[in-house]
Amino acid sequence: MQITVNNQPMAVEPPISVEALLQQLNHLEKGVALAVNSKIISRSRWASYLLSDGDNITLIKATAGG
């Protein structure tokens, strides 16, 4: 199925959870937030939230600095 991650098209094999996608992308570290189709998905739901064909995922990584 086709999804978009931070405006980049990506093909993945369904079914795939948010957590499995982030494992594939090496983005499971702390300080990462995620939205699917502009809706924030809480970290507690990542393992059970299944992605659908055409989903638009936005990854946001907190950075330190001033």
Average pLDDT, integer, range 48-65: 92
13 DSSP assignment: P
Q: Which residues of 35-53 are buried (b: 16+ CB within 10 A; e: fewer)?
A: ebeeeebeeeebeebebee
Q: Strand order of the sheet with strand 32-36?
A: 8-11, 2-5, 56-61, 32-36, 39-40
pLDDT in tens, 16-48: 999 999 999 999 888 999 999 999 999 999 999
pLDDT of residue 21: 97
Q: Is the pLDDT of residue 66 over 70?
A: no
- What pLDDT, on the 0 to 100 scale, is given for residue 29? 86
Q: Which residue has the higher pLDDT, 18 or 63?
A: 18
